[in-house]
Amino acid sequence: MTKVLVIGAKGQLGQSFQYWAPHFPHFKFFFKDLPEFNLFDENQVEQFFNTTNINIVINCAAYTGVDSAEDEPQKAQKLNVEAIGSLCELSKNFGFKLIHYSTDYVFDGTANTPYREEHPPSPIGVYGKTKEEGETIMKTAGIDGWIIRTSWLFSLYGKNFVNTIFSLLQKKDEINVVNDQLGSPTYALDLADSTLRALDQNSIICGVQVYHFTNTGKTTWYGFADKIKQLTNISCNVHPVETSVYPTKAKRPKYSVLSCEKIKKEFNLNPRSWELALEDCLKKIK
């Protein structure tokens, strides 16, 4: 039986893996998070790996506050860079494969066609820069694993765009949402499921491969919010605005659509549209 450790089990992606775990009975899952599992507590971590023969580590832990990273670069660096270095060292010492998640924010958003895996990263904020640094460490560590970039992650768990907008629609008569940033929403349940399906059919992982995964289609944040309104039949008015009307500390990429052809082809995956994924998510929330 393949032993799989999921780090960051309390986050929305970690909880999504917990949702699917019973559907993959030939994987034995270990779900860990702070405080009982601290990557920077060398004794604690080594004791765990010494006593548990882990085959695959899925790292769902990250510093994801795009704006707060501008104020807390050291915290972002610790989680998104130093922690990856620690995981790579552990991978070399204990022989497990590492699955790590990255982001569309490693790109600057100046493209007008979907970003492929080999497109040179060019992040424009602290968050994106730390995620790109983490990628570089993993790519050059001499280990086996996957880096899976995703974008606009949402789910029924925790704080994310869907939960925030759903709450605002119920509380307010009207809201403004940015309409000049284009991307592909990704349902955390679909990302977790597809990761496990890919692992299920390909146990041989040599070197570090980079993949992109999102739900199909693209939209703006306004389009995303308006679809939430449509599917929930809430009367709140949703107005499109330009990014300049809603200034944020961190600059956002204007275009961050990812090409997912590589992962779809290699693992015969057929992700559903973001609209269908959103409909499923809202049904579970309600």
**What pTM was estimated for this model as a whole?**
0.97
Reference 155, options 183, 186, 182, 184; nearest CA is: 186
Sign of CA dihedral 119, 138, 39, 1: positive
Within 10 angstroms of residue 139's Cβ, the number of other Cβ atoms is 16
pLDDT of residue 286: 84
Mean pLDDT in the chain? 96
pLDDT of residue 236: 97
The neighbouring-strand residues paired with 113 are none
Q: Is 36 left (phi over 0), alpha (psi -120 to 50) or beta?
A: alpha
- Of the pLDDT bands very low, low, confident and very high (cuts 50, 70, 90), residue 85 is very high
CA angle 114–119–125, rounded 5-degree value: 90
pLDDT of residue 247: 86
pLDDT of residue 63: 96
Q: 246 and 188 in contact (C-beta within 8 Å)?
A: no
Q: Is the pLDDT of residue 235 over 70?
A: yes
Q: Is the pLDDT of residue 204 over 90?
A: no
User: How far apart, in whole angstroms, are the C-alpha atoms of residue 12 and residue 117?
Assistant: 24
Q: Give residue for tokens 């570089």.
A: 136
Mean pLDDT confidence for 26-38: 94
Active site residues: 127
Each residue of 152-163: pLDDT tens digit? 999 999 999 999
Domains of the chain: 2-156+185-216+257-272 (3.40.50.720)
Structure-block tokens of residue 200: 């299920």
Name, in order, each residue with C-beta under 8 angstroms of 120's C-beta and a sequence gap of 6 or more.
Answer: none
pLDDT of residue 203: 65
- Spell out the SS3 assignment of 65-126: CCCHHHHCHHHHHHHHHHHHHHHHHHHHHHCCEEEEEEEHHHCCCCCCCCECCCCCCCCCCH
Amino acid at 225: A
- Of the pLDDT bands very low, low, confident and very high (cuts 50, 70, 90), residue 246 is confident
Helices (H), the chain: 12-20, 42-51, 68-71, 73-77, 83-94, 126-139, 161-171, 188-201, 221-232, 261-267, 274-285
Q: Is the pLDDT of residue 256 over 80?
A: yes
Q: Give residue for tokens 């693209």.
A: 218
- Of the pLDDT bands very low, low, confident and very high (cuts 50, 70, 90), residue 151 is very high
Strand, coil or helix: what is 41? coil
**CA-derived radius of gyration, the chain:** 19
Helix or strand holding residue 178 (H, E)? strand 174-178
**N residues, the chain:** 286
Q: Is the pLDDT of residue 242 over 90?
A: yes
Name, in order, each residue with C-beta under 8 angstroms of 78's C-beta and a sequence gap of 6 or more.
Answer: 40, 63
Q: What is the DSSP letter of 244?
A: G
- Of the pLDDT bands very low, low, confident and very high (cuts 50, 70, 90), residue 202 is low
